[in-house]
A and B are shown apart, each in its own frame.
Chain A
Amino acid sequence: MVRLLQFAGQGIIYAAAACLIGYFATAPVYKQFPEGKAQIKLSFAHGANRTKACRRLTSKEIAKLPPNERRPNTCERKRVNVQVQLDVDGTRLLDISLKPIGLAGDGPARIYRKFAVEPGTHMVIARLRDSRSTEGFDYETRREIFLSAGQNMAIDFKADAGGFIFR
């Protein structure tokens, strides 16, 4: 009788453990994004211009270089910051200066930002400056977009493709 009760007790322990694992394997549900909202994601990695323009080396300068390092041009390693703006329906969501990565500041500037917006039609304006100038923008894209609730729209940037890409 005692043995039977013990087996029953073991069954209860096993059942409780199984219930615990079964429940917490998927519950409680986590709401990671507000219901009824849409999302705009701005992300790119882009190498801006060098802080100084490349120039030709003089013959004297070339002669001073070790034979295996001789080249006609030299370029500054450091790149300028990338200036980015994002406006949605006239509201500025982002205005930021992105530093190039790398110890010498010679890598691309990168960004990865998410914005929750109301679903519906929006006028989106994205601007980017990657030149040595201090005013104005080298790239600007205006796009009217429609976002449904829960939709995710990505804005990428590729200079080779002409600027901002809406996906």
Chain B
Amino acid sequence: MIRYLLRRLLYAVPILLGVNLLTFCLFFMVNTPDDIARMHLGVKHVNHAAILNWEHSHGYDLPLFYNRHETSWHTLTDTLFVHKSLSMFTLHFGLSDDGRDIAREIRQRAGPSLSIALPAFIIGLGTNISLALMLVWMRAGLADRVGVIIAVALMSVSGLFYIIGGQFVIAHLWRWVPISGFVPGVDSWRFVLLPIAISVIAGIGNGMRWYRSIFLEEIGKDYVRTARAKGLDESRILFRHVLKNGMIPILTGAVAVLPLLFMGSLLTESFFGIPGLGSYVVDAIQSQDFAVVRAMVFIGSALYLIGLWLTDIAYGWVDPRVRLS
């Protein structure tokens, strides 16, 4: 298993390199270093000398991939790609183009993002499983049919509607919690309550339907029939046997998402004024801050790979029939 995991870890290197190269090409296909300088200096009274100076001081005055003014291997290493993109592999993210330390910024923003994403994920998982089991318990009845209809209805509603509607009803009309804002520490619960609740509710439709189908598939299997034949009651069958076996695809799916929770949610954080990572990369794209874009894409892709890696481990852990080799 360890050899398998190490092999997967090595596979990650070319993938990350490819993602880095792709990000670099896409970014500089749309924006030239001149554009980036102009975006940072503004358009008023800025002359060409100021642009050159900005590019020089921020290291954007190098050629993209090949430096014909250099000799030997410096022709390839003294380039924007090596200086700006490959340095990511040393986990040295440097300063953003507006002069803030990216690693520090990520550390500062990760906490608020996780304070919503993690509880929303755990509570959402618990709620969806419970509701799905309930529907399976009452399967083929009126409650099951109504439950499925409600789930489809919940899935059909846009995520933005949940946020705006939730803010309007809970925070504006009923005035239970602040509409938006954040404070660090224990008192943050007042601010994260509504976004967590909305995230959970917005995910119920999808989750409940998916888990219901997983449990329904399980409930038709032979071991369930055997359990019934042995005289076990329905609830014990559901909670002891079906749940346990149904958890295999659920857990592996959940583990894959786990590392990405760190990246936060753009919409939720924007509407609730949460100073998280959700909007960091979008803001950076808008302000053409390549330093932040490259760092966040690198971290995002690395986390995704970690997620897949953890999924593999989880398979082996929850299902003894799976052996990693």
A and B are partners in one complex rather than unrelated chains: no
